[in-house]
Structure 1
Amino acid sequence: MMTLKDLEKKLQKADAKQAKLYLFCNFISLLLITAYSAMMFSPTVLLVLPQGGDSRKQMVAIFVLALFGCVVFTIYASGLFFRKKAKQLGTLMALGASGRRLLPGLFREVLTLSAVSSFLGIVAGFPFVWILWNCFKLISDSSQMALTFDFKCLYLSAVFFVIVVACSCLNAYRYLKKTNIMEVMHEEHRNEPVRELGRWCGPVGIGLVLAGAVLGYMGPVVCYYGFQFYAPAWINILYAPVFVGLYMIMLHTVVYGWRPRKKDPYKNLIARSMMKFQGKQTVNNLLVSTVLIAGSVFGMFYLPMTGVERAMEIKSRPYDYYYHYRADQNVPDEEEISTLAAKHGLVVKDFKKAPYLSLGMDGITEVEEGRSFHYERIPFKCEGRFLSEESYEALTGEKIALEKGSYMAVCKSDGTGLQFLEETAQVLTNMETFQSIPVKFAGYAHYDLLTDSSGYYVLNSEDYESVGQDLGGEWMGEAVFFNIDGEDSYEFAQDFFYTLISSFGPECEIPSYYDRVSKYYANSQGEVYWGDTPDMTEVSFSDPDSSNFRIYWKYMPKSRLLDQTDYNSTFSVFLMMFLFIAIICSLAAVIIEYTRCMTIVLNNRYVFEDLKRLGASPGFLLKEIRSQAGPVFKIPAIVGMGAMYFLYILLMYGNDGKITASEAGGMAVCLFILMGIGLIYYAVYRLAVKNMCHQIQG
């Protein structure tokens, strides 16, 4: 005789497919979240990505998008599981089982499935990261690519696990509270149409996406420049119209579509009706997939935008080598460099050297008052490297005539590279004698090779001689250019680099942002200079091949061949982290879309069966399947990619008020990448359609 418990087990076995789908969804969600958080907390990544830098902020922002997507996906998977389980619960209720009787068994099943899938996902996250990271190392490897984990990342996985279990238990309780047995048994066939807002919701949604992107981006800018106020974190709520607009776009897609139907209103009626009557599920899936694809594209764009800009800058250099040094350092001179080059069968030519002075500059700075600030002129704002008119001409071949008491700042030929330059100085100070001269800003000179994170200036020659009297060697320097006659050698470039480093003393073991004038002023005010705090990026002569040293050392030379060849190893962690982010978000989006296509078939099997009985041909059924699966893949890809491409253009323009040639080149490469990603999504779409047909035929 079969007991109620035996019947319950038998029904559970019959619903094994749904249990497997639920297990798979939870497993994938926990795997992706664990993998992403493992990378975010990895000392390998945190050591290279500067604290407070844009790269870290972007990493966290995309994680929030991925977390949002996985949470919604998990809730959706839980709801789908219980919709299918409703028939089992209704059968047991019809046989006399009360909700109180079924509750312990249902909770036990839910907790077991959730715990097992989540635990396996968490455990699998670490080998998944390890496998991907080591695959990356085949492309680009360096001493910094040794992957280490900080298991604090498990806190995020634990929080996500609690969300998974809580949602599952709430769903279980909600279904058992229903008293109408017939409603419970037919739950899986219940439609979830969305509320129709009208055809205006699509165009309005597009407008809201654009408005939200502009508002979210401009909000902090307006606070800063308009109200002299540091924007709080909550101002990011200005991006909210983006999500409202995305929802309206998806709603319009599901309910109306984007093709006019006045001429043929009954075309694709079955497919449109099926999508419309299950609109809530479809809209939610489209929205989540769009957000994840946008995050994926944002991560992917980091690679070409960084790589193209750097490649174009290296190619445009008029000299093979550039370096500068303090006058009190015993660095190799022209003869020693020529001797070193001769060991590698090379000849040095076009050797140019010119002196510069490191002077204190006054200027206008921000003085913080809580979250607001005001501007104030201080006598020692920053350190500037000043070339005389003759020195600038000797290096660049360009003649500049400056009036006495004036100076120019050197920026790039396209007018960018201004963020590190001081334009408000009225006094220049000799930091040995503290003799000062009055000056005024006279505009910009343009020479790309002299543009870096410290900045160069050109000073009237008389003023240069006057303010530079009795200046010590630590406040003087030399800038050097030279070429190699014929084809350069990587071995020489590397040998020169290590030889140059070994000639510097420990007093030069500082990052590029370290400003001695700013330090002097902070100390004179009884404050600790921010560059001396332990959280700042450190460089070390003992590790000259690290990203921190190559990117941030104050006296880092520029070598065309070395910079070209070592680009991947120098930026390996940056590149691999953002490529990893793109893969994680893309996987999540693809899995959600594929799962949605499979549930379309499961939820509408009876519709397809009826169509077959009415004589529908295989070709007609295939057309209907494509009409269902197409928007699931196509709309998120178009909206997510298009919105992020537009946002990236906005970000590029907002940096300096223009789109430079290197940025335009990077965006062109990004366009080709979007095409490649689109082909991948199309391949998954074809696979989904094939499996949907298999489900119907089976």
Structure 2
Amino acid sequence: MMTMQKLEQKLQKADRKQAGLYLLCNFIALMLISAYSAMMFSPTVLTILPEGGDSRKQIVAIFILALFGCVIFTVYAASLFFRKKSRKLGILLALGASKRKLSPGLFREVLTLSMTSSLAGILAGFPFTWGLWNLFRVLIVDSSDMRLKFDFRCLTVSFLFFALTVTFSCATAYRCLRKTNIMDIIHEEHKNEPVREPKKYCGLLGILILFAGAVTGYNAPGVYMALFDAYPPAWINLFFAPVFAGLYMIMLHTVVHGWGFRKKHSYQHLISRSMMKFQGRQTANNLLVCTVLIAGGCFALFYLPMLGTGQILETQERSFDYAFHYRADQNVPTKQEILTLADNYGLKLKDWHSGEYLLLGLDGVVQVEDKPDSRAYHYEYRELKQQGKFLSESCFNRMTGQTIDIAPGCYRAVSNESETGTYYLELESTELTNMVTRAKTPIRFDGFVHNEMLLDAIGYYILDDADYEAAANKLTDEWRGNLLWFNADGADSYSFANALLKQFITGFNSECETIYAYDPVEKIAANENGNIYWGDTDEISKISFSNPDSYDFRAYWTYMPKIRILDQHDCLRNFSVFLMMFLFISIVCLTAAFVISHTRCQTIALNNRYVFDDLKRLGASPAFLLSEIRSQCGSVFKTPMLVGSSAMFLLYSLMMLGNDGKLTREESAGLLVCLAAVAAIASALYAVYRLTVRKVAQTLGVR
């Protein structure tokens, strides 16, 4: 005898494909969020990425995009599941079952599916992260900084997302049971969701709104700071909101009108376009989500070439293989000791150049917060603003082979050929301060000189010889420094370079165990004003001679030398955590976009299976049906890729241009590498598209 319970079980069994799809969607969404949050909270990552730095901000921004995409993905999966479930519920209601009697079984099934898939996804996120991270270590680069550690506070994000998923599933089930018309429930899965047909100019208007939103959002923080003398609040990011409106308009135009010119072939792919159009709301939402995820994946992936290309080019074009700078009171290896060490490695050295510089105080205007932890700030003049490293014009000419003549009472700053990235240089000083005698020397800025070997995060300046001698009067070795440059005679030796670096480091005392942001001039000024210098309390300013191979030491040590062969060979290792983190984020976002696109194509085809059956009965050839499948899947895959990657490439170009008003050669090379990365993503997407077309054709019985 067939009971209601057995009938429910049979209907659930008939729904196993839809249940499996729902399980898969929830599992993937929770796994990706769990994996991403595990990386964001990992001490391995947080130790390398400076707090408040651009890298962390970019990671958080991409996480918000991924979170937005996964939320829409799970909402869509739940809605699709209940659209298919509605027919079975309608049958039971038609057979006399009450909603009260059906609700326990329905909620039990929903809770079981959503909780099982979500918890499995959360748990799978950790081995997924660990496996992918260690695969990177094996295949790409490994270092002591890359031992992955988990901070299980990341589960807070995962369980919040879990709660959202379960709550929405239960709410959708309740909404489904609230319906009163049995026939509406039975035919729910066949209902279309067409959108009101937009005007033909909707797509172009959307593109304009997208660009306007990107430009407005990018410039809003700077405008806010200029108008209110305060750091911009979080709500300033709302100026990016038009970007999403523009994206939605572009997706809507794609679904309803498409982008081709069809005057001659107005009926071409009419069926595939109509299937997308009559489910326009769902399709537009999915295209929007995929566009956002692909944009986030490109944003993460673009970070890598923009980070590394400039350094690779700079390293290759140095005029010297070795460039050391150090305080004059430190016991570093002498020229003879370096030659002796080189002999041990069978290496000859040549082109020796040496010189000295002074550490002097520069005056200037500083930005000061009105109150602790306040957004508002004002500007104050300080006699001691920051340190600067000053060479005499004769020393500069001898070291570089150039011929410059500095006018008395003037100074020049050392920059690259394009004179970009000079934010750390003080170009408005009116006097120099001898930090021992406190004697003042009137001075004014008189332009730039160019030399790649004298670029660092503190900044070098050039003085007239007479002004240099006056500023150096009674200056102790603590405030003096030496330069030593030379080349390898023939092929260089990595082992020698590494040994020389270690020997060089052992010659420094603990006073030099500082990062380049630790400014002794700024420290003295703070202490004389009764304040505690930030560098004496902030952990970010601490590095250790005991760990000279760490990223922090190699990237931030004040006296880190430029050694071409080390910088070339260790580039990947030094930036390994950055590389792995952003590559991981890109894979997470792009995987989610690929899965959503694949699922959406199958859904459109399955929801319109009866259309393909009718076409077969009318005599449509397999080639025609396959062409319609390709057309439909092509729009789902192609549009998000074109819009997402193009928008992100444009944004990165604007960011590079906005930094200093021009694109340098290094930035242009990085953007070309970004284009190559887009081509690689497009190739992977095309492979998924081919797989999807084949899968949809098999499902619809098209051979």
Shorter chain as denominator, the TM-score bin is over 0.9
Aligned-residue offset at 1:398: 1.4
Aligned-residue offset at 1:583: 0.4
Paired amino acid for 1:122: I
Could you give the per-residue CA deviations for residues 43-78 of structure 1, whole angstroms, max 9, x where no partner exists?
Answer: 111111111111111111111110000000000000
**Counterpart for residue 346 of structure 2:** 345
Aligned-residue offset at 1:99: 1.8
**Counterpart for residue 696 of structure 2:** 692
Q: Percent identity?
A: 58
- Give the Cα separation in 1 of the matches to 2:202 and 2:483: 61
- Give the Cα separation in 1 of the matches to 2:175 and 2:533: 59
Of 374, 384, 402, 2:378 maps to 374
- Give the Cα separation in 2 of the matches to 1:473 and 1:355: 11
- Give the Cα separation in 2 of the matches to 1:136 and 1:268: 43
| Aligned pairs for 1:584-599 within 5 A | 584-599=588-603
| Structure 1 contact 538–548 (Cα < 8 Å) conserved | no
- Give the Cα separation in 1 of the matches to 2:225 and 2:265: 54
Aligned-residue offset at 1:526: 1.9
- Give the Cα separation in 2 of the matches to 1:233 and 1:456: 37
- Give the Cα separation in 1 of the matches to 2:145 and 2:658: 33
Q: Equivalent residue of 2:449, what SS?
A: strand
**Counterpart for residue 335 of structure 1:** 336
| Structure 1 contact 410–458 (Cα < 8 Å) conserved | yes
- Give the Cα separation in 1 of the matches to 2:545 and 2:65: 39
**Counterpart for residue 161 of structure 1:** 162
| Structure 1 contact 189–603 (Cα < 8 Å) conserved | yes
Q: Equivalent residue of 2:594, what SS?
A: helix
Could you give the per-residue CA deviations for residues 243-277 of structure 1, whole angstroms, max 9, x where no partner exists?
Answer: 00000000000000011222332222211111100
| Structure 1 contact 75–167 (Cα < 8 Å) conserved | yes
- Give the Cα separation in 2 of the matches to 1:683 and 1:697: 21
- Give the Cα separation in 2 of the matches to 1:49 and 1:373: 26
Paired amino acid for 1:103: S
Paired amino acid for 1:115: M
| Structure 1 contact 426–438 (Cα < 8 Å) conserved | yes
- Give the Cα separation in 2 of the matches to 1:92 and 1:601: 27
Aligned-residue offset at 1:222: 1.5
- Give the Cα separation in 2 of the matches to 1:408 and 1:230: 32
- Give the Cα separation in 2 of the matches to 1:532 and 1:203: 55
Could you give the per-residue CA deviations for residues 674-698 of structure 1, whole angstroms, max 9, x where no partner exists?
Answer: 1111011001000000000000118
| Structure 2 contact 517–541 (Cα < 8 Å) conserved | no
Q: Equivalent residue of 1:403, what SS?
A: coil
| Structure 2 contact 427–445 (Cα < 8 Å) conserved | yes
Paired amino acid for 1:91: I
| Structure 1 contact 417–452 (Cα < 8 Å) conserved | no
**Counterpart for residue 549 of structure 1:** 553
Aligned-residue offset at 1:85: 0.1
| Structure 2 contact 514–541 (Cα < 8 Å) conserved | no
- Give the Cα separation in 2 of the matches to 1:329 and 1:361: 24
- Give the Cα separation in 2 of the matches to 1:522 and 1:631: 61
| Structure 2 contact 518–541 (Cα < 8 Å) conserved | no
| Structure 2 contact 27–118 (Cα < 8 Å) conserved | yes
**Counterpart for residue 420 of structure 1:** 424
- Give the Cα separation in 2 of the matches to 1:176 and 1:538: 61
- Give the Cα separation in 2 of the matches to 1:110 and 1:535: 49
Q: Equivalent residue of 1:365, what SS?
A: strand
Paired amino acid for 2:229: Q
Q: Equivalent residue of 1:357, what SS?
A: strand
**Counterpart for residue 466 of structure 1:** 470
Aligned-residue offset at 1:395: 1.2
Could you give the per-residue CA deviations for residues 563-595 of structure 1, whole angstroms, max 9, x where no partner exists?
Answer: 000111111111010100110001000000011
The normalised TM-score by structure 1 is 0.99
| Structure 1 contact 407–457 (Cα < 8 Å) conserved | yes
Q: Equivalent residue of 1:47, what SS?
A: helix
> Does 2:670 match 1:666?
yes
- Give the Cα separation in 2 of the matches to 1:292 and 1:655: 26
- Give the Cα separation in 1 of the matches to 2:39 and 2:213: 30
Q: Equivalent residue of 1:697, what SS?
A: coil
Paired amino acid for 2:338: I
Q: Equivalent residue of 1:382, what SS?
A: strand
- Give the Cα separation in 1 of the matches to 2:473 and 2:97: 98
> Does 2:278 match 1:274?
no
Paired amino acid for 1:53: G
| Structure 1 contact 539–553 (Cα < 8 Å) conserved | yes
- Give the Cα separation in 2 of the matches to 1:388 and 1:656: 28
Aligned-residue offset at 1:615: 1.0
> Does 2:628 match 1:627?
no
| Aligned pairs for 1:57-206 within 5 A | 57-138=57-138, 139-206=140-207
| Structure 2 contact 301–583 (Cα < 8 Å) conserved | yes
Structure 1 residue ranges without an equivalent (≥5): none
Aligned-residue offset at 1:396: 0.9
Q: Equivalent residue of 1:588, what SS?
A: helix
Paired amino acid for 2:79: G
- Give the Cα separation in 1 of the matches to 2:48 and 2:94: 62
- Give the Cα separation in 1 of the matches to 2:100 and 2:538: 59
Aligned-residue offset at 1:225: 3.4
> Does 2:41 match 1:41?
yes
The normalised TM-score by structure 2 is 0.98
Paired amino acid for 2:33: I
Paired amino acid for 1:448: E
Could you give the per-residue CA deviations for residues 492-514 of structure 1, whole angstroms, max 9, x where no partner exists?
Answer: 11011101011111100001111
Q: Equivalent residue of 2:700, what SS?
A: helix
Aligned-residue offset at 1:226: 4.5
| Aligned pairs for 1:529-678 within 5 A | 529-678=533-682
Q: Equivalent residue of 1:153, what SS?
A: helix
**Counterpart for residue 356 of structure 1:** 357
Paired amino acid for 1:23: L
Structure 2 residue ranges without an equivalent (≥5): none
Paired amino acid for 1:102: L
| Aligned pairs for 1:136-535 within 5 A | 136-138=136-138, 139-369=140-370, 370-535=374-539
| Structure 1 contact 417–451 (Cα < 8 Å) conserved | no
- Give the Cα separation in 1 of the matches to 2:531 and 2:208: 49
- Give the Cα separation in 2 of the matches to 1:482 and 1:593: 56
- Give the Cα separation in 2 of the matches to 1:660 and 1:532: 37
Aligned-residue offset at 1:394: 1.6
Aligned-residue offset at 1:538: 2.7
Paired amino acid for 1:465: E
- Give the Cα separation in 1 of the matches to 2:93 and 2:535: 70
Aligned-residue offset at 1:314: 0.4
Matched residue pairs, number?
A: 698
Q: Give the 3 Å change call, closer, same or farther, for CA 441–506 of structure 1 in structure 2.
A: same
Aligned-residue offset at 1:227: 4.0
Q: Structure 1 segments of 4 or more deviating over 6 A?
A: none
- Give the Cα separation in 1 of the matches to 2:118 and 2:17: 18
Aligned-residue offset at 1:228: 2.6
